[in-house]
Amino acid sequence: MRRSIIALAALTATLFTASSRAEEKVLNIGDPAPALAVSSFVKGDKVEKFEPGKTYVVEFWATWCGPCKQSIPHLTELAHKYKDKDVQMIGVDVWEQDTKLVEPFLKEMGDKMDYAVALDTVTEGGDPMQGAMAKTWLSAAEEHGIPTAFVIRDGKIQWIGHPMSMEEPLGKIVAGDWNGESLAKERLAKKEVEKKLSTIRSSLAAFQRSKDYKGLVIFLDKATANDEALAKEMEWMKFMALCNGGDVEKGLELGAKLKKANWDNAGMLNRDAWDVVDTALTDVDPRVAKLAVEMATRANELMKEEQFQVLDTLAQAQFRAGDFAAAAASEEKAIKAFNDHVTEDSPAAKAYLKQFQDRLEKFQKATEKKDAA
């Protein structure tokens, strides 16, 4: 309980600090688009500025980003669809440790990446995370992941989000049937919640290290009291804490709610499933494992069995549920998807792949032992 009090005190202080930053300007829908501060265009027509009456999609990606590679063919489809509607697609490579990898990547993608591609401007020997485009677009908009797309019309930002969710808003923007005012307000509200979430997460480590899940539930209830939006955003963490020992019955009830709410969101389903079958956990209630299998199976369907993280989550959930053969089969698919989509040969990539391979071996041995029994 003492740890809960200390963590809550720290949370109060950090939330106050976050609220004092609330007036900082966040680049948002409706704002003038920043300048195109790219170093060069390595494919397609060069774009120097945003022209009135024309629509632009500025999409941020990197060669090492698996989800980016998956979204690229979709962007090409949209580029072809709106080619005669004054829509210019621009893929901006950011956060790239070695830009020499870009040209081979473009050759590998070929016609699947059929739109203009540019490189971020990074000072010689500088940090790619601090590139001109990364700072003035992604950081300014408080977007911390890629792929992320910005749609610009008449020099103003009309929409910001994941490129796989862009088709409907882009169509409305091109047709002149778009009003982003309410979306802009929602986005700012969401960013404020995200700031509070970041401060809460910094206080969670003590509970997770000690596996004090009951204390974590109490902490979360106190931290989100009288803040409905924050409480809703932290439901996934409460679900994890409840299922891992806080109160399994309540965890299953909350998990069913999350599964229904996120049924068409692969990312959230994958996150929620992994949190309750994580390899770091000692024990998992069979009912929780079954729920995680349902979540991960749906996420895998949505991703068309092409996302290696989702396949890995599904494998781990199946293993926890006692279906060792299915777990091994899913992990084999995860390894194949990883090899298909990750082109870099870095120590980090090798370590990631080894985790999958080690899990596959574990699942195969469990299958053999079960069959021999």
Residue boundaries of the structural domains of the chain: 38-179, 234-372
Q: What is the CATH number of domain 38-179?
A: 3.40.30.10
Which residues of the chain carry a pLDDT beneath 70?
1-24, 202, 344
Characterize 237-263 residue by residue with b for buried, 16 or more Cβ atoms within 10 angstroms of its Cβ, and e for exposed. Answer: bbbbbbbbbbbbeebbebbeebbeebe
Q: What pLDDT was estimated at residue 18?
A: 43
- Say which residues have a Cβ less than 8 Å from residue 122's Cβ, sequence separation at least 6: 39, 128, 130, 131, 132
pLDDT digit string (tens) for 5-27? 334 344 444 443 444 444 468 99
CA distance 198 to 115: 36
Q: What pLDDT was estimated at residue 20?
A: 41
Q: What pLDDT was estimated at residue 340?
A: 87
Q: What pLDDT was estimated at residue 255?
A: 97
* Domain range 234-372, its CATH number among 3.40.50.261, 3.40.50.11540, 1.25.40.10, 3.40.50.720: 1.25.40.10
Phi and psi dihedrals of 182, rounded to 5? -65, -35
Phi and psi dihedrals of 32, rounded to 5? -60, 140
